[in-house]
């Protein structure tokens, strides 16, 4: 057998990809076990029927052939107008490329921003695919640690130290954040922007949860002074319109970078199906009606979850200000997040993501996705709390 490339063999850095508990839960479901799945950010409601009707009509009308690689003109214009309206930064269709989802956008952005062997910074906790995405782009990933007591916000000092020590060429941030639910305040973003300017780094801003804000305000760093020409924004239809399986997102960036990305897409994805792009056009044209419907359950469940947690004192949580997740500190039990999650799944058939799946800064935590019906979520959270209390009592005695 011919050699497999080191790039593929080393995507996980020689360790775990963090998805073991999720995969075990899915195996149990496939065997008919009733598992409460609180693992991935998959809506419990599906894509709106009106969006699917638009997709169907487009496909029946014949938009099933090759679409323009950077995206159909109408969709690029709508995204540009949306970004201009939301950020105040003039944005043209030439600043936009349509991608097969946000994940493809993240990979393409790093391919454009980095040369092989360049160092790419990212904030820990992080979405589980980030390190592998950077390695796939032939970059050297270096994490920026954060602390729960600081609401998992990166500090000015740690970013600057990492940038200088590693001669970093890019920094990847995610606000609203997965897994922590934190929305970066303006002060934090200004510090990040200043570090990027001082150390001549690209800022890659993953903003796929920008319509899910429960407290504070979402600010795109592209709108900050001096950042328009060094910021690459990743957007997506997945979270805001429950179109996860449709695989459609976008990159917003300076025009020369978009031109390079078009060449990359021509050699890789060759664009996004036209009927899916037409469905995205319909969705964005009806965003004022559709987006609140998608966001509302997660704000309601966030408040419900915090009220359940207020009934006990074993598990601690930083209240999420955005996105569809809750980070729970279960260190009082004496278990790692991984050990707790495995025991919880085995004992109570509740599946959550271990904090360690998202980096060292999340060790001893769990990520709970608020993606099941309210009553089932409340029952699961109360079970998690009582399970944690029993383990914590045992740990205290030991």
Q: Could you count the other beta carbons within 10 Å of the beta carbon of residue 147?
A: 12
Domain membership flag for residue 59: no
Q: What are phi and psi of 350, to 5 degrees?
A: -115, 125
Number of domains in the chain: 2
252 and 383 co-located in one domain: no
226 and 332 co-located in one domain: no
167 and 255 co-located in one domain: yes
pLDDT at 64: 97
Domain membership flag for residue 51: no
303 and 179 co-located in one domain: no
CATH number at 195 reads 3.40.640.10
Q: Which of 325, 320, 315 is nearest to 365 (CA)?
A: 315
227 and 157 co-located in one domain: yes
Domain membership flag for residue 329: yes
Q: End of a domain among 288, 306, 340?
A: 288
Domain membership flag for residue 371: yes
Domain membership flag for residue 263: yes
DSSP lists the bridge partners of residue 279 as none
The residue range of the domain holding 361 is 6-46+289-388
Least confident interval from 2-16, 76-90, 246-260, 320-334 = 2-16
Task: Name the pairing type of β-strands 316-317 and 325-329.
Answer: antiparallel
397 band by pLDDT with thresholds 50, 70 and 90: confident
pLDDT tops 80 at residue 15: no
295 and 354 co-located in one domain: yes
200 and 298 co-located in one domain: no
Domain membership flag for residue 184: yes
CATH number at 368 reads 3.90.1150.10
Q: Which residue's entry shows tokens 């950042």?
A: 227
Domain membership flag for residue 57: no
Work out the mean pLDDT of the chain and round it to a whole number: 96
User: Are 244 and 266 within 8 A, CB to CB?
Assistant: no
Q: End of a domain among 240, 256, 288?
A: 288
Per-residue pLDDT, averaged over 363-370, amounts to 97
**H helix intervals, the chain:** 6-9, 20-30, 49-60, 73-87, 102-113, 130-136, 156-166, 186-198, 255-267, 274-285, 287-309, 337-348, 374-397
160 and 82 co-located in one domain: yes
pLDDT tops 90 at residue 219: yes
225 and 346 co-located in one domain: no
DSSP lists the bridge partners of residue 350 as 36
137 and 248 co-located in one domain: yes
Q: What are phi and psi of 124, to 5 degrees?
A: -105, 125
User: Are 246 and 54 within 8 A, CB to CB?
Assistant: no
pLDDT tens for residues 118-167?
A: 999 999 999 999 999 999 999 999 999 999 999 999 999 999 999 999 99
Question: CA 351, CA 366: separation in Å to the nearest integer?
Answer: 10
In Å, how far from its chain's centre is CA 355?
15
- 39 SS3 class: coil
Say what percent of the chain tops pLDDT 90.
95
Q: Which residue's entry shows tokens 């600043």?
A: 95
* pTM over cut 0.85: yes
204 and 104 co-located in one domain: yes
Domain membership flag for residue 394: no
204 and 349 co-located in one domain: no
Q: End of a domain among 288, 308, 330?
A: 288
């Amino acid at each position: 057998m011919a050699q497999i490339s080191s790039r593929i063999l080393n995507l996980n850095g020689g360790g775990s990809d963090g998805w073991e508990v999720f995969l075990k839960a899915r195996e149990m479901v496939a065997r008919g076990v009733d598992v409460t799945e609180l693992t991935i950010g998959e809506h419990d409601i599906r894509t709106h029927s009106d969006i699917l009707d638009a997709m169907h009509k487009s496909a029946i009308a014949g938009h099933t052939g090759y679409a323009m690689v950077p995206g159909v003109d109408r969709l690029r214009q709508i995204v540009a107008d949306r970004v201009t309206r939301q950020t105040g930064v003039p944005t043209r269709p030439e600043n936009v490329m349509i991608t097969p989802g946000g994940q493809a956008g993240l990979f393409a952005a790093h391919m454009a921003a980095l040369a092989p062997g360049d160092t790419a910074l990212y904030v820990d906790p992080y979405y589980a695919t980030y390190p592998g995405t950077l390695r796939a782009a032939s970059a050297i990933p270096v994490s920026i640690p954060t602390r729960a007591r600081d609401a998992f916000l990166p500090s000015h000092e740690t970013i600057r130290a990492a940038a200088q020590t590693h001669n970093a060429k890019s920094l990847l941030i995610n606000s609203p954040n997965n897994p922590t639910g934190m929305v970066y305040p303006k002060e934090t973003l200004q510090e990040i922007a200043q570090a990027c300017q001082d150390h001549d780094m690209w800022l890659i801003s993953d903003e796929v949860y920008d319509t899910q804000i429960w407290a504070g305000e979402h600010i795109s760093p592209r709108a900050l002074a001096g950042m328009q020409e060094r910021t690459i924004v990743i957007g997506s239809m997945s979270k805001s319109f429950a179109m996860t399986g449709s695989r459609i997102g976008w990159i917003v960036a300076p025009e020369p970078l978009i031109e390079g990305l078009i060449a990359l897409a021509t050699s890789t994805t060759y664009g996004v199906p036209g009927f899916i792009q037409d469905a995205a056009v319909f969705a964005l044209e009806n965003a004022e009606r559709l987006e609140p419907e998608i966001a509302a359950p997660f704000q309601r469940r966030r408040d419900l979850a915090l009220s359940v947690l207020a009934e006990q004192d074993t598990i601690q949580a930083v209240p999420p200000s955005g996105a569809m997740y809750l980070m729970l500190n279960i260190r009082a039990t004496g278990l790692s997040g991984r050990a707790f999650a495995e025991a919880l799944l085995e004992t109570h058939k509740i599946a959550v993501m271990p904090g360690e799946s998202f980096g060292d800064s999340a060790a001893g935590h769990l990520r709970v996705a608020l993606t099941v019906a309210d009553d089932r979520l409340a029952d699961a959270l109360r079970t998690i709390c009582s399970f944690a209390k029993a383990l914590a009592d045992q740990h205290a005695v030991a």
